[in-house]
A and B are shown apart, each in its own frame.
Chain A
Amino acid sequence: MIFGEQRRKWRHRRLYPGGASSVDCLSRDGEIKEATSASPVDASETGSGLTGLALVVNDLTPAGLRSTPLRSSVQEGPVKVNGGLKSMDSFGKYQRDVSDAWSTEELAEEDNAGSSRQDDNYGSSSSRLPGATSNGRVSGQNRHYSEHLRAKGLQRLAMQSSGRASLPAHSAIASRPGLAVRSSSVNANDGLDERPPSSSSLQSLLPRHSQKSDKFDKVLSMPSLDMEELRRLSWSGIPSQLRANVWRLLCGHAPPVSSKQKLEDTLHRKREEYQSLVHDYYPKRHDDQYKDTFRQIHIDVPRMCPLIPLFQQIVVQELFERVLFIWALRNPASGYVQGINDLVTPYFMVFLRQSLALSPEEDMDNLQLDQVCSSAQLQAKLPAVEADSFWCLSKLLSSIQSNYTFAQPGIQQRVVQLKDLVQRVDAPLHRHLEKCTVEYLQFSFRWMNNLLIRELPLKCIIRLWDSYHSEMEGFAHFHVYVCASFLLWWSEDLRNQPDFQHCLLLLQNLPTQNWGEDEVERLLAKAYMLKYSFADAPRHLRA
């Protein structure tokens, strides 16, 4: 049977240390055939549906992308789903979202030099194309080709680094959550520079890097800015020197115009506006009404990144306090909640790097601001960094406001979604966590509340945010898939922990200190597969 043969090829065991689990259970029950013809209701509620999903998640090939059990049953099965149109819509969205996450030219190059395993993989799945492609809108050779490229892009991301040193005993892990991670360096934001040369040689990386910058430059210099295109490019990482500008655009802080003058005018106006907010509101921090809020901010800010000298400087701490206090005052529905302070950090670092014209390699952790520039220069530069951080933070928080309102319903909901998702894609892990009485809320609350900032080195967060900013609901919706992807990463390690204590100690000190762009991109690739697999099955993620 073709399935038996392909099952093996669909395995992407090396994508994730823990990724194999769902595939394993898939091959054990051997229900693939049923799964592909399962009705949507079955798919969402029964074991065979789970099998089907496992199949989809692990199937990176273009045909597989279209032949999810849910979609094929729309055409074949008697049971109604939300309608084919909807699934086509979201497929279209998927198309838009990923089609350029990896550039076609780059991939075309790689195709020629590509490994035989990948070619083989594609070849076998393409044999299914005629049967699987009954969606009229998705046809034509070009489409197939671009999908093929996209699928290969996923694979490329996934396979880039196949090995991961297995987890050392948990005793080696830094003793406090977050500390070890955040003490690590924040230098060199640009992933392409940092990625260890894998299959390709260093020489081939360099021109590709500049090629990437060229593409950004091209988009950014168009008379009317193509935001869609910019998002597509940014999804797979923004060159360090362009990041600040692109983030401002993607956030909606900067207007989508390429005219330098217009851009500068708007930013200037917004920066002045922020200054006047500070002028009007900051003195209120001593008022009875606001002193508790300010107290909380004032005790939290000095405790941020305690091991990074940059954050110990008064001028930086005061900047954070102003940004947070003004935001809290303007958003009484939530006010300041611990963790929001962390969300300022990536913006601050990115904008500061640009403002001081630091090279991508320059380490910012040990930066002494008063030493790199005169106080006059600082006074000229920092207000813009501060204002931009404030506005971008405001945009970000408005997309996840329910995370911080009373009882934090947004977080509760997303934790449930995470649990639901993991239950479906990695049942053994889910069962193990249940057996150890580990509750998802106990470890993933912080993942949601701080958007993983306490779990990953800052440079990884910055790369992650390139993609979050590019997604339509990156910080709200896509983040759940990234969290699931993150949890699955540790699946095997977690399943090897005997009890609650060990699981939890591991979960709150996950050894990501040495993570770089490479790991983040694998994390993202998996998250994207998960998102795509569930895009047409909102029932699966209904809280």
Chain B
Amino acid sequence: MAASAVASPRVHDFKVVLLGEGCVGKTSLVLRYVENKFNEKHESTLQASFLTKKLTIGNRRVNLSIWDTAGQERFHALGPIYYRDSNGAILTYDITDDDSFQKVKNWVKELKKMLGTDIMLTIIGNKTDLEKQRNVSVETAEQYAESVGATHFQTSAKLNRGVEEVFLDLSRRMIEQADKQDAEKRALSPSSRSTAAGNVVLLEETPAAPIKSGCC
């Protein structure tokens, strides 16, 4: 599979998970992105919803499988079944709600612990249409994002600001990561690991795996 993929224009299947506190706009973001719709009112997400989107970046075709998860703390235990094999995570907070930003930090910690650096992280401050009620400063959020190797975006699902960019950027990074992993595989397969660029990544990967397997 890997061999043929290198030759022809590559199709990537990526899994993306949306995490974050309840009512910060996770579902609205995905709906805006996937269907370009915005409902002032929609049902709270129970457990998780699954959506898909296809896009093309350069000569790469990307199929996104998106898990939009429920925000309530009680469902936290379900998290792993959605982020387990994810290539990317979008961690969303509401710019008017500092608590929701703290929640993002918790998710980052958990993802780092469980998945190491394999997963691409994007942090989103949503609801920029409510700028006047902002409680999380852009600087704080950007600094934090940088410190954990995530990209930071500000969006308004309502006004359709910044949403497309989030998924484009994340997809690009997931492609890069996939290429990097492919290169590592190729470098490793003829049993000459001298030129592998990502040895550090591989080392980090090992402790991450056994921590919590079969959690559910």
Tell me the chain B residues, 18-48 only, with Cβ under 8 Å from chain A.
Answer: 22-23, 31, 35, 39, 41-44, 46-48
Q: Could you write out 26 A-B pairs with CB less than 8 Å apart? A: A175-B35, A176-B43, A296-B22, A299-B44, A300-B44, A302-B41, A303-B42, A306-B41, A306-B43, A337-B74, A338-B44, A338-B46, A338-B74, A339-B46, A404-B74, A412-B216, A441-B78, A441-B81, A446-B46, A446-B47, A454-B43, A454-B46, A500-B65, A501-B50, A508-B49, A508-B50
A178 touching B47 by the CB < 8 A rule?
A: no
B41 CB contacts on chain A under 8 angstroms: 302-303, 306, 312
Q: What total of chain B residues lie within 8 Å of the partner, measured CB to CB?
A: 24
Given known contacts A176-B43, A299-B23, A454-B43, what 13 new A-B pairs fall within 8 Å (CB)?
A303-B41, A303-B42, A304-B44, A312-B41, A338-B75, A406-B74, A407-B77, A442-B48, A442-B81, A445-B46, A446-B47, A454-B46, A505-B50
- Chain A residues with CB below 8 A from B42, complex form: 176, 179, 303, 306
A408 with B77: CB separation less than 8 A: yes
Question: A378 at the A/B interface (Cβ < 8 Å)?
Answer: no
Interface string of A285-319 (1 = CB under 8 A from B): 00000000000100110111110000010000000
Give the docked Cα–Cα distance between A296 and B72 (Å): 8
Query: At the interface, yes or no: A439 with Cβ under 8 Å from chain B?
Result: yes
**CB within 8 Å of A: which residues of B?**
22-23, 31, 35, 39, 41-44, 46-50, 52, 65, 70, 72, 74-75, 77-78, 81, 216
CB within 8 Å for A408 and B43 given contacts A296-B22, A439-B81? no
The contact of A338 among B50, B65, B72, B81, by CB within 8 Å, is B72
Report the minimal beta-carbon distance from B154 to chain A, rounded to whole angstroms.
22
CA distance A303 to B74 in the complex (A): 18
A67 at the interface (CB under 8 A from B): no
Tally inter-chain residue pairs, CB-CB below 8 A: 75
Contact A449 B43 (CB under 8 A): no
Instruction: Please tell me if the beta carbons of B47 and A449 are within 8 angstroms of each other in the complex.
Output: yes
Contacting residues of chain A (273-291) with chain B, CB-CB under 8 angstroms: none
Quick one: which of B42, B44, B52, B70 has the most chain A CB within 10 A? B44
* A334-349 contact mask (Cβ, 8 Å, vs B): 1 or 0: 0101110000000000
- Indicate with 1 or 0, residue by residue over A164-203, a CB within 8 angstroms of chain B CB atoms: 0000000000011111001000000000000000000000
Beta-carbon nearest neighbor of A338 in chain B: B72
State the Cβ distance, A309 to closest chain B Cβ, in Å: 12
Q: How far is the CB of A419 from chain B (nearest CB, A)?
A: 13
Kindly state whether residue A132 has any CB partner on chain B within 8 Å. Answer: no
A504–B74 Cα gap in the complex (Å)? 23
Q: Is A450 an interface residue (CB 8 A)?
A: yes
Closest CB in chain B relative to A116 CB, distance in Å: 47
Chain B residues with CB under 8 Å of A501's CB are: 50, 52, 65
Which residues of A have CB within 8 Å of B72? 296, 337-338
How far in angstroms is the closest Cβ of chain B from A445?
Answer: 5
Q: How far is the CA of A179 from the CA of B41 in the complex (A)?
A: 11
Closest residue of A by beta carbon distance from B31: A176
Nearest CB of B to A211, in Å: 40
CB distance from B83 to the nearest CB of A (A): 13
- Known contacts A299-B22, A408-B74; A505 and B52 CB within 8 A of each other: yes
- Cα A306 to Cα B27 in complex, Å, equals 14
B158 to chain A, nearest CB (A): 15
CA of A323 to CA of B78, assembled, Å: 27
Task: Give Cα distance in the complex from A412 to B216, angstroms.
Answer: 9
What chain B residues lie within 8 Å of A407 (beta carbons)? 77
8 A-B pairs with the lowest CB-CB distances in the bound complex, closest first: A306-B41, A299-B23, A445-B47, A504-B50, A303-B44, A446-B46, A338-B72, A407-B77
How long is the Cα–Cα vector from A321 to B50 in the complex, in angstroms? 29
* Shortest distance from the beta carbon of A436 to any chain B beta carbon, whole Å: 12
Bound complex: CA of A181 vs CA of B42, how far in Å? 13
